[in-house]
Structure 1
């Protein structure tokens, strides 16, 4: 057929069917511009010939005779340059045209980007090989996507579409030789003409299809060995689906399907269940979709059940799926069941891999590191890694990636995790319940966490419970974790917190308390105060239920400190005083001394300076007596702060130096940093700015070394305040203060941010910067809400000065500041009253 003849046929049949040039272009797999050029009488490019002819065949089946002739002509044009010997002997005998694709899914939604990627890879004008492998876990929609894609490509492959289910997940995968026999029959070969040898079958298959443009769909492949013999030669395209990724197939485009997004899952549910019922209660439907975890099979089942029960409400379905113990049982409709699809993969596992899945799935964690499998099963690391690889190949486990500590992490899909828990429940008869597995896992993480905490350079709170034994952990895992202790705790923070709550709920208050105590130093270091508070509250309640007095003391202190960092000063005092009282009753004197140190610190913050000094001096003596010198140094630093507030500046400096010396003697970088920051504050108050700057600089460096951004920010603030005293270093001071504020925003610490805003506002006010008043008001609001009179007064004084510089009346601000200073007995009260009196604004007796 000539180019003009083919162009004429295309134009005639397109117009008969009412198609646009763009629609024809899409069917033929060419550009709309090419269609316009051809219909205007242009030359038909050789690479487009077959696609255009295929489109003509699909559009005008009633003109079969005409187009059969055209097919033979085009086949001769196509094969001549590829195989000149064949051209001399005439065309191959045409076989049947198989159309084996399963019915298309009418409610297919989502996957638009992936679908476009596959269509591009399988276009007829793409160079060979045209091979796409779609992989993913059970129920993710691999087959639906493959069938949808195949139907869209059917017109581009006019010599037929073949479909074979390879039964890869059934436990009895189809033998490649049997699959080849099926394909050969589909291509017109009778049984008597099919060789018995698998290699000969594969060779014959390649010979039959080399001159054909076929689309082959191989669904549910088990692995490379099953697929490789089935791959055709020539211009055909192949679409493979399977749970394993099969990335080893040469020239393949790999597509690994992820769970659907919320919007696509909701649209799928709506198409099946009906829009009116969805719109009647969209909130409950959203809960249903979330319970399905983005798994198309689960969404389809839930929607089908909803559609089959017109009397059900969306709220009823959401509640049924909300119960994790029943969720898999609820996700069943007719012959569709999520549990069944998971069971197929589970049954194919080796016994050790199946056991590892049950154990790991029992853990109440979102992700877990690679070493967890070996640790739970008490096997070598390589054996544990092999079990995980088997789970990955079965697509019962997902690889998350490398965490901040350099550990490879894994996770189960929510529904797979529920199935794994069911598997563990079946193992209860072997003597280990799920609760026991969780406790055992907690001891494993505790053992590693204790050793990693030692590398944090500075135990602060002494809240761990030494009565609780822990596993030692793999030496290589521990060594790697200790090299990056902050990163390790960050990577395991969510896991450790989940284990704490699960153990507390299951009656394991001891292990839960030990884990909380081990994590407390890290939480305080990195500002994870909400996590700390949640764990402490849960374990405190568990200790009280079990009558564990020592555990209760530790958790009262833990909760008190967490509330302090969360700016609940009254709540902190209540918990810490209860801890000291109980510790004295039980003779736990170290705990009583540390609680006293913490009580004194809080009293100093709220301006109750006399009480604070008495409590801190008592704590310092008790800590010295029991030999806890590092904690004694912290108590002395807090005492220095209280004395500074009272105007006793020389003693404040002297005590801060004693604290710093204790830190150096203990070789504790944290204590040195903490005491150094306190010394900087004392020196600054004493007017010794250069010395203060040196102490603050050193403290900031130490905090940075141990990975404490909160301490670093506090030290940078002190350094900025020191530089602010020097007129030549105002710009540098402002930069330091803004850097400190950024740290407190990045690692949320409202107290430090408000204190830094106070220092920054004072600096800006001195230079009449327009933003000074706004910055100071922000700080003042915080101190007023926290009821910290000393800092309220300081903020009011700075704000009053800023307002006066702008010509505004600041009388009320000065008076409020005087009131706060008088309440705490600060020496600043007399000086401020004298100033106001001389200004004629308020008398000393008012």
Structure 2
């Protein structure tokens, strides 16, 4: 077995170990990885777990400077054998093929290095919160994951260098927990332990300083001074150096008996606040960067200077702006540097957003803040509406973190200013065509074109060294023809790579002819446009058409299925159609779907070029038909996602817009987690609503907008809810669609009901109900009546509310919407119960619960269970109530509903308080408080603190309390 992590990871879950000899533990025992190439490759993948390792790197790792021609094939064979070993051992980890290489996908608790890094991060947070004893305990336990020198026994010098860095991290963690424990007054207990460590690592000055301090505080001043002299002699003898300033100052302080050397706390252990277990909902730190470029070429001096500027922490936030003309490689360099800095410089993650500053509608700072807050763990339902309040919450969250913020293609200072972190621990990297001189303290780096040597290097990487070296003069001429512009060079080089029978000289001539044809353009634009025209014209007709049609999509990152929809091609893997465009650099691969398919992105210049070609070669009717298929694809997926969430077409209205039919099984694979899919694609879905409105596809427009409420409501995307609906409302009113108008008005009524704006909600609902009545649309009427009933209930008018609920239920029954009926039953229960009809209320809840379970709608089931638990508690049936509340808690945790989780934890705490079990109530209330504090809900947190303040002190300190914490 490999050991146990500090945060409770049992050895049975820790499948992989590199903190010592390489070990793999399967469900049935140890798993042998053959020594040699397979062991080296597997170790390299584990060191970069959940990140892509390029095939070129693996080749260099095994063969150093002279790989055979079959090197890449041999790496593929090794990976194939490793996959087989993992599968036969029953391990869930998988080695996925991801350009430009492979990625070993492991769980959070499967690799000892992952556990170590996460736990050190948790300890860092505890220190910042003043919870020193807990931090020290965490660090002390996690260093025990080491079973010897990292990756000992793996024969690779390159990996050994990385392993030594990790061994250094272990020593740093040891030194840190010793420093924390010395601060807690534990010097007597630590003297022997630190002495042994100094003997093992005699040149580490921090350890020696800790040893001196422990000796001095234990009344052994002479021995402390002897330890200094022994260390000084060793440093002089071994390295020819005097001790560092810190060690010399410590010697002086000991000699003078400086009072500052005494600990703040004497040996009595301070009573820590009750432990707050990391809640089960906690998200991983954000890693939002696009993929790095495998064949990156750039100025090492510039790359190093930018990295250094970002890594300089201080009081002010380091801000670096990369400025340059289109195609010069700003985005590529920013992504490369951000990956290079990675978790080592910014252990709390990287936030990324393409601001689309050069498009007609740049992304607003308010929307970016919403995205970033969600990535940082704040549920959408508590994200404020105003930009200023979002910025305040964002700065507060980042205040104790080291996070890198990367903003690509910024339009101006006003777009960036609200996104600046407030702490110098973080850094911001921005790319822009503008110089952005209004950002004080920012460092600007002007990107120039590649020089001849760098350009030739890039050409050799794309075209191949043999072809490039065979025509050295033509290679230089080609570089000069594109002016050293990286985007243009990549495009023409990829064209050459796709045509091995073409000479470099012929490409120079073709490019010269194309440039003469475009000689009215400015130099930089001309270079790119000439390269694009040359590559575009040389593509087969189908690929040219796909490139043109793909420009219809407005989203920043595009899924592969769009190719099938745009061409009306029903092949099983429509993303295959895009590979030819990737090969010639007309499209970039930037991410991978959970299904294993890739996601793509246009360079903005290429998108503009493709749209020009679209206008020139495709008729308005052809463009509209393609847009209809594309929108039909989004609508089909959104509709199926709603069905999977609610168990059918319940509580939603649909129009007559055509859906694009996906290949068999394709949509089901994409929608394995329907709410997660909608969340990942929400930017594209919102863009599709806009595109449908622009194209005059009003039926698809309102249908897609209202279907997306399945995401907007539970995740709190209220600003997008309003934006899409107002956009669609313009479209349906322009088209004269009464049903679409009514559906959108009803949904806007629900939105303002969620926002606690009853007057506005009622106005929308009344107008929608009048339209539905005129159309005799009972399903739409039922949705309005349900929400109007809730408005009456919230206003205290129970009789009118119950009357409207009965009307809504009658209409839901008429159209067969059983989930609509169940929601009415659930919402009406408080009124029925207040009237003293407890049995009738319980019967309503039981019926609603049966409906939710029959269709698999877990959100409704959790709400009904919670209400049922509260009612049972009121009736004195505590055991049954606790069971229902615990069931509901498990459901909301599985669904990632933080607000629901905090409510239910509070309910369980209240249940135990009502039964006089204060100590059983405390851990539930503490966990509810932890959620409220993390999501920055000050009012909710204050209410829970008031309950906690009324509890008696916990006997026996923190340890019994930790044992009492409920499992999450």
Relative to the length of structure 2, the TM-score reads 0.45
Distance 2:714 2:450 in 1: 51
From the superposition, tell whether residues 723 and 717 of structure 1 become closer, same or farther in structure 2 (CA, over 3 Å): same
1:358 lines up with 2:662 in the alignment: no
Distance 1:470 1:696 in 2: 41
Distance 2:520 2:715 in 1: 42
Q: How does 1:428-577 map to 2 (within 5 A)?
A: 428-429=618-619, 431-433=621-623, 435-458=624-647, 462-577=651-766
From the superposition, tell whether residues 490 and 613 of structure 1 become closer, same or farther in structure 2 (CA, over 3 Å): same
How far 1:336 sits from its partner (Å)?
A: 4.3
Contact kept, 8 Å, 1:723 with 1:733, in 2: the verdict is no
Distance 1:338 1:395 in 2: 12
From the superposition, tell whether residues 595 and 380 of structure 1 become closer, same or farther in structure 2 (CA, over 3 Å): closer
5+ residue gaps, structure 2, are 1-297, 308-324, 333-446, 482-487, 498-517, 954-968
Q: How does 1:85-164 map to 2 (within 5 A)?
A: 112-114=301-303, 138-140=327-329, 146-147=450-451
1:733 lines up with 2:917 in the alignment: no
Instruction: Tell me the equivalent position of 1:677.
Output: 866
How far 1:562 sits from its partner (Å)?
A: 2.0
Instruction: Tell me the equivalent position of 2:944.
Output: 760
Distance 1:559 1:330 in 2: 50
Instruction: Tell me the equivalent position of 1:605.
Output: 794
Contact kept, 8 Å, 2:635 with 2:659, in 1: the verdict is yes
From the superposition, tell whether residues 482 and 343 of structure 1 become closer, same or farther in structure 2 (CA, over 3 Å): same
Q: How does 1:673-752 map to 2 (within 5 A)?
A: 673-686=862-875, 688-706=877-895, 708-728=897-917, 729-738=920-929, 740-741=931-932
Q: How does 1:252-271 map to 2 (within 5 A)?
A: none
From the superposition, tell whether residues 699 and 117 of structure 1 become closer, same or farther in structure 2 (CA, over 3 Å): closer
Any idea what the Cα deviations from partners look like across 1:308-350, whole Å, max 9, x if unmatched?
xxxxxxxxxxxxxxxxxxxx99973598454334323323323
Partner of residue 578 from structure 1, selected from 767, 771, 774? 767
Contact kept, 8 Å, 2:782 with 2:808, in 1: the verdict is yes
Distance 1:182 1:638 in 2: 78
Contact kept, 8 Å, 2:906 with 2:925, in 1: the verdict is no
Distance 1:527 1:551 in 2: 23
Larger radius of gyration: 1
Contact kept, 8 Å, 2:492 with 2:531, in 1: the verdict is no
Distance 1:684 1:590 in 2: 36
Contact kept, 8 Å, 2:491 with 2:586, in 1: the verdict is no
Contact kept, 8 Å, 2:866 with 2:885, in 1: the verdict is yes
From the superposition, tell whether residues 533 and 639 of structure 1 become closer, same or farther in structure 2 (CA, over 3 Å): same
Secondary structure of 2:642 counterpart: helix
Secondary structure of 2:628 counterpart: helix
From the superposition, tell whether residues 687 and 245 of structure 1 become closer, same or farther in structure 2 (CA, over 3 Å): farther
Distance 1:654 1:489 in 2: 35
Moved more, 556-565 or 600-609: 600-609
How far 1:484 sits from its partner (Å)?
A: 2.5
Distance 1:692 1:762 in 2: 24
Distance 1:744 1:684 in 2: 29
From the superposition, tell whether residues 487 and 166 of structure 1 become closer, same or farther in structure 2 (CA, over 3 Å): closer
Distance 2:943 2:691 in 1: 44
How far 1:483 sits from its partner (Å)?
A: 2.1
Any idea what the Cα deviations from partners look like across 1:607-642, whole Å, max 9, x if unmatched?
343432332233234434544332112111111133
From the superposition, tell whether residues 139 and 629 of structure 1 become closer, same or farther in structure 2 (CA, over 3 Å): same
How far 1:695 sits from its partner (Å)?
A: 1.8
How far 1:425 sits from its partner (Å)?
A: 0.9
From the superposition, tell whether residues 697 and 382 of structure 1 become closer, same or farther in structure 2 (CA, over 3 Å): closer
Secondary structure of 1:409 counterpart: strand
Distance 2:808 2:666 in 1: 39
Q: In angstroms, what is the RMSD of aligned CA positions?
A: 4.5
Contact kept, 8 Å, 1:669 with 1:702, in 2: the verdict is yes
From the superposition, tell whether residues 572 and 661 of structure 1 become closer, same or farther in structure 2 (CA, over 3 Å): same
Any idea what the Cα deviations from partners look like across 1:152-191, whole Å, max 9, x if unmatched?
xxxxxxxxxx98998999xxx99988974766xx9xxxxx
Contact kept, 8 Å, 1:637 with 1:655, in 2: the verdict is yes
Instruction: Tell me the equivalent position of 1:427.
Output: 617
Distance 1:404 1:768 in 2: 49
1:342 lines up with 2:532 in the alignment: yes
Contact kept, 8 Å, 1:554 with 1:579, in 2: the verdict is yes
Contact kept, 8 Å, 2:566 with 2:627, in 1: the verdict is no
From the superposition, tell whether residues 692 and 572 of structure 1 become closer, same or farther in structure 2 (CA, over 3 Å): farther
Secondary structure of 1:478 counterpart: helix
From the superposition, tell whether residues 497 and 713 of structure 1 become closer, same or farther in structure 2 (CA, over 3 Å): farther
Contact kept, 8 Å, 2:783 with 2:808, in 1: the verdict is yes
From the superposition, tell whether residues 666 and 461 of structure 1 become closer, same or farther in structure 2 (CA, over 3 Å): closer
Any idea what the Cα deviations from partners look like across 1:738-775, whole Å, max 9, x if unmatched?
25536866xxxx7xx85x44751451352399xxxxxx
Q: Which has the higher helix share?
A: 1
Contact kept, 8 Å, 1:500 with 1:512, in 2: the verdict is yes
Distance 1:548 1:335 in 2: 44
Relative to the length of structure 1, the TM-score reads 0.51
How far 1:604 sits from its partner (Å)?
A: 2.2
Distance 1:668 1:165 in 2: 54
Distance 1:354 1:447 in 2: 27
From the superposition, tell whether residues 509 and 449 of structure 1 become closer, same or farther in structure 2 (CA, over 3 Å): same
The one of the two structures with greater contact order (alpha-carbon pairs below 8 A, sep at least 6) is 2
Q: How does 1:180-219 map to 2 (within 5 A)?
A: 180=470
5+ residue gaps, structure 1, are 1-108, 119-135, 151-161, 187-215, 223-239, 250-327, 770-846
Any idea what the Cα deviations from partners look like across 1:697-732, whole Å, max 9, x if unmatched?
212323444555554454444334333424422212
Distance 1:352 1:525 in 2: 42
Distance 1:165 1:631 in 2: 60
How far 1:480 sits from its partner (Å)?
A: 0.9
Contact kept, 8 Å, 1:464 with 1:513, in 2: the verdict is no
Contact kept, 8 Å, 1:692 with 1:719, in 2: the verdict is no
Distance 2:820 2:663 in 1: 32
How far 1:533 sits from its partner (Å)?
A: 2.2
Secondary structure of 1:483 counterpart: coil
Secondary structure of 1:555 counterpart: helix
Distance 2:656 2:570 in 1: 29
Contact kept, 8 Å, 2:929 with 2:945, in 1: the verdict is no
How far 1:498 sits from its partner (Å)?
A: 0.6
Q: Report how many residues are paired.
A: 496
